[in-house]
Amino acid sequence: MDELEDKNTNKLHDTITATELKSNLGAYLDYVISDNEVVITKNGKKAARLAPYITDSDRYFLMKEKALDYQYGGKKVSYEEFMEIYETSDLRLEFINGEIVQLSSPSTIHQEISGNLYVEFKEYLKGKQCKVFYAPFDVHFRKEGFKDPDVMQPDLIVACDMAGNTNEKGRYMGTPTLVVEILSPSTRTKDMVDKLNTFMISGVREFWIVDPDQEVILVYGFKDLDIDYFMTYRKKDTVQSYAFPDLEIVGSLVFP
């Protein structure tokens, strides 16, 4: 057997021929069960890999550890690398400024506010071409002047460009007209700085930041990739949309 190092896993694995595997299957199974790997060759070419079985729960925590390592280790990854990780992970992940960010589970008040806003948007959009969607719902924000998009899961979006902007996997690839983020302690900075900047320079027209602690809604209106409008609304106020002039939502219907 030839012992080699796998650059992806930093593990040592052994290379054997298909004939060797047939002759010593039991021994190689015991070897693999001990957390080793075996690469099988046929006619001089790598044909298969024999590796320890990983349960779904083990795979989940392995991916979680990998995602957290990217996040807290300050490592940057490419858009292509992020998509490879994302496609094989059950975690809620975002890709912001080249970094992977893992999203935590929302609180009960967060979910109540999200549900209340969804109902209000849904009612307003009846008979209109725009649609409202709630997280988890991936959006690829293509920023002016940047090669790679940011990939986020806003709490709510209103999309008016669904036609022609859905790919072969049924995923939305357009730019929302309105985006809503509900603040939490872990996302406050990114929502109010990084995400605001991304939405502004990717063509989003309106951004709502909902603060459950202060019971306020900050409404930003964007024009020509810059801030054109800003207003703060409290629970007692009626929120007026920038992009949809006839959309008004009473603050007391938003906050529990």
Across 33-107, where does the E strand assignment appear?
37-42, 45-50, 93-96, 99-102
Which helix or strand (DSSP H or E) is residue 132 part of? Answer: strand 131-134
- Condensed to tens digits (0 to 9), the pLDDT of residues 161-208 reads 877 777 767 778 888 999 999 988 766 666 677 888 889 999 999 999
pTM over 0.85: no
- Cα torsion 231, 233, 238, 244 to 10°: value is 40
CA dist., res. 125 & res. 204, Å (int):
18
Q: Domain 2-50 in CATH: superfamily?
A: YefM-like domain (3.40.1620.10)
Q: Which CATH architecture has domain 108-253?
A: Alpha-Beta Complex (3.90)
- Assess contact for 215 and 252: CB atoms under 8 A: no
Tokens found for residue 202: 């990717």
CA dist., res. 85 & res. 100, Å (int):
10
> Residue type at 139?
V
Which helix or strand (DSSP H or E) is residue 193 part of? Answer: none
Question: In which residue ranges of the chain is CATH 3.40.1620.10 found?
Answer: 2-50
- Condensed to tens digits (0 to 9), the pLDDT of residues 5-24 reads 443 334 445 787 878 878 88
- Condensed to tens digits (0 to 9), the pLDDT of residues 236-254 reads 999 999 999 999 999 999 9
> Residue type at 204?
V
Question: In which residue ranges of the chain is CATH 3.90.1570.10 found?
Answer: 108-253
| CA nearest neighbour of 98 among 115, 119, 76 | 76
